[in-house]
């Protein structure tokens, strides 16, 4: 056997059912997060995505308390939080920041209580870490059907709303003038966002979910200006980074001698996504260097 592939793909990588489940879920979630994320970046709503992901902590700790599948908890909490944000005025750019912040603060407050109750009830100490940072390797096959269903709903919403949503994201005035129900579209998008974030939170941990939502999409939008191409590119970047992260984390088991320790998948995924974003900025940076004009290049819209 050629030693090089064995060094990259540690023995058992392709036969382990945990890795297979992780790879499948990551791929599905990366596609959904990429499609929704492109709109999140265009609309400038990363904070809403981040907040909904964090509130997944509330849902997951609640689910743990009443012994329900974690994804149910995360999804319900995210959708409920999105509803409250919509109610208190996330659709207005001026109130958006505060609306998101208030919901996030309250949601995390409840999470503090639920995690406290979890630790009292189950007398475990590592709960917070598992919930907050998560790991694709911890996903069981019983979660797959719900992952697929939520993905189909979220992706379906985005595909059905694609054209009007794009117009209302880029030019709300023009969309309103054409009779497109801008507010209703915003609410529909928020629902798709809540589901996509819930999936990402379930996969790579509640406080890292934003990486999968915003990172690949922002990278893609640096590479292409066409939204449809950006959705495709974001999905591909998402799949590539998560799969590479899985391989690297799996390999990291070998860095310790049989101690069973490894580096977390989430760390690799997040770092790879960040590197991809920086790399995607290189062409624009070189263009700026090449142009002799000393004035600052306008920031990309």
Interface positions, 27-46, toward other proteins (CB under 8 A): 41-46
**Between residues 39 and 72, which has the closer beta carbon with respect to other proteins?**
39
Nearer to other proteins, 149 or 288 (CB): 288
Per CB under 8 A, contacts with other proteins among 51-110 are: 51, 88-89, 91-95, 97-98, 100-110
Q: What phi, psi does 16 have (nearest 5°)?
A: -70, 130
Q: How far is the CB of 118 from other proteins (least distance, A)?
A: 10
Q: Is 149 within 8 Å of 23 (Cβ atoms)?
A: no
Q: Which of 52, 63, 214, 234 binds other proteins (CB under 8 A)?
A: 214
Kindly tell me which residue out of 193, 195, 222, 233 binds other proteins, with binding defined by CB under 8 A.
222
Please list every residue from 270 through 289 that binds other proteins, using CB under 8 A.
270-271, 273-274, 277, 281, 284-285
Our CB check for other proteins shows the closer of 176 and 232 to be 176
Q: Residue 173 is encoded by which pair of tokens?
A: 């005035």
CB of 127 to other proteins, least distance (A): 8
Q: Which stretch binds other proteins (CB under 8 A): 20-28, 69-77, 136-144, 165-173?
A: 165-173
How many Å apart are CA 263 and CA 265, to the nearest integer? 7
Under rule CB under 8 A, which residues in 224-263 are in contact with other proteins? 261-263
Where does this chain touch other proteins (CB under 8 A) — which range of 13-21, 27-35, 74-82, 162-170?
162-170
In the list 55, 85, 111, 158, the residue contacting other proteins (rule: CB under 8 A) is 111
The token pair at 245 is 């992260």
The whole-angstrom separation of Cα 103 and Cα 55 is: 9
Cα separation, 125 vs 263, in Å, equals 20
Q: Residue 222 — φ and ψ, nearest 5°? A: -80, -25
Give 2-32 as a DSSP string: -HHHHHHS-TTTTT-HHHHHHHHHHHHHHHH
In the region spanning residues 167 to 196, those forming contacts with other proteins, defined by CB under 8 A, are: 168-172, 176, 182-183, 186
Count of chain residues binding other proteins (CB under 8 A) = 79
- Among 214, 75, 230, 231, smallest CA distance to 148 is for 75
From residue 124 to residue 153, what is the string marking binding to other proteins with x (rule CB under 8 A)? -xxxxx--xx--------------------
What is the three-class DSSP state of 107?
A: helix
Checking 18-21 for CB contacts under 8 A at 24+ apart, the result is 18/137, 19/137, 19/246, 19/250, 21/139, 21/140, 21/141, 21/144
């Amino acid at each position: 056997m050629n030693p090089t592939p064995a060094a990259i793909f540690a023995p058992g990588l392709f036969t382990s059912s945990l890795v297979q489940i992780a790879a499948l879920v990551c791929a599905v979630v990366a596609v959904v997060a990429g499609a929704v994320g492109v709109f999140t970046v265009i609309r400038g709503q990363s904070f809403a995505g981040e907040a909904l992901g964090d509130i997944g902590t509330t849902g997951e700790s609640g689910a743990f308390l009443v012994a329900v599948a974690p994804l149910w908890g995360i999804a319900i909490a995210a959708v409920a939080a999105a509803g409250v944000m919509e109610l208190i005025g996330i659709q207005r750019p001026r109130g958006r920041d505060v609306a998101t912040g208030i919901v996030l603060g309250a949601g995390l407050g409840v999470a503090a209580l639920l995690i406290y109750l979890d630790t009292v009830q189950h007398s475990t100490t590592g709960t917070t870490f598992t919930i907050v940072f998560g790991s694709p390797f911890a996903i069981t096959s019983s979660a797959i059907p719900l992952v697929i269903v939520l993905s189909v709903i979220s992706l379906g919403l985005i595909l059905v709303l694609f054209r009007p949503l794009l117009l209302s994201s880029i030019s709300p005035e023009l969309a309103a003038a054409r009779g497109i129900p801008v507010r209703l579209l915003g609410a529909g998008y928020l629902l798709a966002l809540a589901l996509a974030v819930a999936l990402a939170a379930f996969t790579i941990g509640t406080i890292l979910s934003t990486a999968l939502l915003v990172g690949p999409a922002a990278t893609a939008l640096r590479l292409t200006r066409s939204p449809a191409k950006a959705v495709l590119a974001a999905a591909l970047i998402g799949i590539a980074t998560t799969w590479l992260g899985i391989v690297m984390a799996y390999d990291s088991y070998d860095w310790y001698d049989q101690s069973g320790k490894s580096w977390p998948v989430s760390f690799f995924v997040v770092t790879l996504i960040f590197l991809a974003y920086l790399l995607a900025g290189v062409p624009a940076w070189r263009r700026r260097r090449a142009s002799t004009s000393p004035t600052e290049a306008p920031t990309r819209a």
